[in-house]
Amino acid sequence: MNYSIRLRLTLWYSLAMLVTLIIFSTISFNLVKRNLYSQVDKSLSASADKLFDAVSDGISRLAEIDRSGSIHYFRITQHGWIIYQSQSWDSLEIANIKIEKGTRNGTSMEVGTFRLHNTKKLFPMIEGAQAVTVSVAQNIDQLETSLQRLKRVFSWGLPLVFLTAISIGYFLAGRSLSPLRDITRKAKHINADRLDQRIAVKQPQDEIGDLAQALNLGFERLEQAFFRLQCFTADASHELRTPLAVIRNVGELGLQSKADTEAKNETISSMLEEVDRLEQLVENLLLLARADTGEPMQGKQQINIGELLTEVVECLGVLAEEKQQILILQNTSRVILDVHKDYLQRALFNVLDNAIRYTPEKGDIQVSLILKSTYFDICIRDSGPGIPIRESENIFKRFYRLDIARSRETGGSGLGLALARWGVEINGGQIFHQESSVGNGCEFIIRFEIGPAGHKL
Amino acid sequence: MRILIVEDEQKLAQSLAQGLRNEGHQVDVSYTGEEGFFLATDADYDLILLDIMLPQRSGLEILEKLRSQGNNVPVLILSAKDTLADRVMGLNQGADDYLVKPFAFSELIARINAVTRRGGTEALVVLEYLELHLDLLTRSVTRAGTTIDLTRREFDLLEYVLRHQGHIVSRAMLAKDVWQQPNRATPLDNVIDVHITRLRQKLDAQFAYPLIHTIRGVGFVLERRDP
Residue A81 bridge partners (DSSP): A78
pLDDT band for position A453 (cuts 50, 70, 90) = very low
Q: Give ipTM to 2 decimals.
A: 0.80
Chain A residue whose CA is closest to B151 = A318
A322 CB neighbours in chain B (<8 A) are 194
Query: Cα(B103)–Cα(A279) distance, rounded to whole angstroms?
Result: 9
Q: A318 vs chain B: nearest CA distance in angstroms?
A: 7
Select from A387, A388, A328, A384 the least CA-distant residue to A361: A384
- Measured CA distances, B115 to A105, A267, B106, B109 (Å): 116, 33, 14, 10
pLDDT band for position A457 (cuts 50, 70, 90) = very low
Instruction: Kindly state whether B85 is in contact with chain A, defined as any CB-CB distance less than 8 angstroms.
Output: no
Instruction: Kindly state whether B184 is in contact with chain A, defined as any CB-CB distance less than 8 angstroms.
Output: yes
Residue A368 bridge partners (DSSP): A330, A379
Secondary structure class of A49 (helix, strand, coil): helix
Q: Using one digit for the tens of pLDDT, what is the confidence trace for A199-244?
A: 888 777 888 888 888 888 888 888 888 887 888 788 888 888 888 9
Query: Cα(A421)–Cα(A141) distance, rounded to whole angstroms?
Result: 94
Q: What is the pLDDT of residue A97?
A: 55
- Measured CA distances, A366 to A311, A351, A378, A432 (Å): 15, 12, 10, 16
Secondary structure class of A137 (helix, strand, coil): strand
Query: Cα(B54)–Cα(B108) distance, rounded to whole angstroms?
Result: 20
Query: Cα(B151)–Cα(B157) distance, rounded to whole angstroms?
Result: 10
Q: What is the pLDDT of residue A454?
A: 45
Instruction: Kindly state whether B198 is in contact with chain A, defined as any CB-CB distance less than 8 angstroms.
Output: yes
Q: A274 vs chain B: nearest CA distance in angstroms?
A: 8
Q: What share of chain B is helix, strand, coil (3-state, %, to 5)?
A: 40, 20, 35
Nearest to A272 among B84, B186, B217 (CB): B217
B82 CB neighbours in chain A (<8 A) are 286
- Between residues A111 and A11, which one has the greater pLDDT? A11
Q: A304 vs chain B: nearest CA distance in angstroms?
A: 17
Question: For the residues B58-73, what does the mean pLDDT come to?
Answer: 90
Q: Using one digit for the tens of pLDDT, what is the confidence trace for A348-390?
A: 999 999 899 889 999 999 999 999 888 999 999 999 888 888 8
* Amino acid identity for residue B155 in this structure: F
Q: Do B191 and A318 touch (CB under 8 A)?
A: yes
Query: Cα(A352)–Cα(A346) distance, rounded to whole angstroms?
Result: 10
Q: A353 vs chain B: nearest CA distance in angstroms?
A: 6
Q: Using one digit for the tens of pLDDT, what is the confidence trace for B18-62?
A: 999 998 999 999 999 889 999 999 888 999 999 988 887 888 889
B215 CB neighbours in chain A (<8 A) are 269
Q: Using one digit for the tens of pLDDT, what is the confidence trace for B89-104?
A: 888 888 999 998 888 8
Torsion of CA B97, B100, B104, B105, to 10 degrees: 50
Q: Do A349 and B82 touch (CB under 8 A)?
A: no
Secondary structure class of B29 (helix, strand, coil): strand
Polymer length in residues for chain B: 227
Where do the DSSP E strands lie in A16-103?
73-78, 81-85
User: Residue A297 gets which letter from DSSP?
Assistant: P
Q: A292 vs chain B: nearest CA distance in angstroms?
A: 15
Instruction: Kindly state whether B176 is in contact with chain A, defined as any CB-CB distance less than 8 angstroms.
Output: no
Select from A180, A67, A73 the least CA-distant residue to A116: A73
Q: What is the pLDDT of residue A332?
A: 84
Q: Using one digit for the tens of pLDDT, what is the confidence trace for A145-158?
A: 888 998 898 888 88
Say if residue A399 is exposed, middle or buried (CB neighbours under 10 Å; 0-12, 13-18, 19+): middle
Q: B218 vs chain A: nearest CA distance in angstroms?
A: 7
pTM attached to this predicted model: 0.66
- Measured CA distances, B59 to A13, A197, B45 (Å): 64, 49, 16
- Between residues A401 and A282, which one has the greater pLDDT? A282
Query: Cα(A201)–Cα(A419) distance, rounded to whole angstroms?
Result: 39
Q: Do B217 and A276 touch (CB under 8 A)?
A: yes
B218 CB neighbours in chain A (<8 A) are 269, 272
Nearest to A346 among B82, B84, B185 (CB): B185
- Which of A277, A282, A287, A349 should one mutate to test binding to chain B, selecting the residue with the greatest count of B CBs within 10 A? A349
Is pLDDT at A392 greater than 80 in this prediction?
yes
Nearest to B190 among A273, A295, A319 (CB): A319
Q: What is the pLDDT of residue A456?
A: 46
Q: Do A271 and B191 touch (CB under 8 A)?
A: no
Nearest to A350 among B187, B191, B217 (CB): B187
Q: Do A349 and B215 touch (CB under 8 A)?
A: no
Q: Do B217 and A269 touch (CB under 8 A)?
A: yes
pLDDT band for position A297 (cuts 50, 70, 90) = low
Q: Do A315 and B188 touch (CB under 8 A)?
A: yes
Contact (CB, 8 A) for A289 and B83? no
Q: Do A318 and B188 touch (CB under 8 A)?
A: no
Q: Using one digit for the tens of pLDDT, what is the confidence trace for A121-167?
A: 777 666 666 778 888 888 888 888 888 998 898 888 888 888 888 89
State the angle between helix axes of B59-68 and B33-42 in degrees (0 to 180), rounded to the nearest 10.
20
Name the average pLDDT for chain A: 82
Which residues of A have a CB under 8 Å from any CB of B? 266, 268-276, 279-280, 283, 286-287, 290, 295, 298-299, 315-316, 318-319, 321-322, 342, 345-346, 349-350, 352-353, 411-413, 416
Query: Cα(A33)–Cα(A63) distance, rounded to whole angstroms?
Result: 33
pLDDT band for position A451 (cuts 50, 70, 90) = low
Instruction: Kindly state whether B145 is in contact with chain A, defined as any CB-CB distance less than 8 angstroms.
Output: no
Question: For the residues A237-255, what does the mean pLDDT come to?
Answer: 86
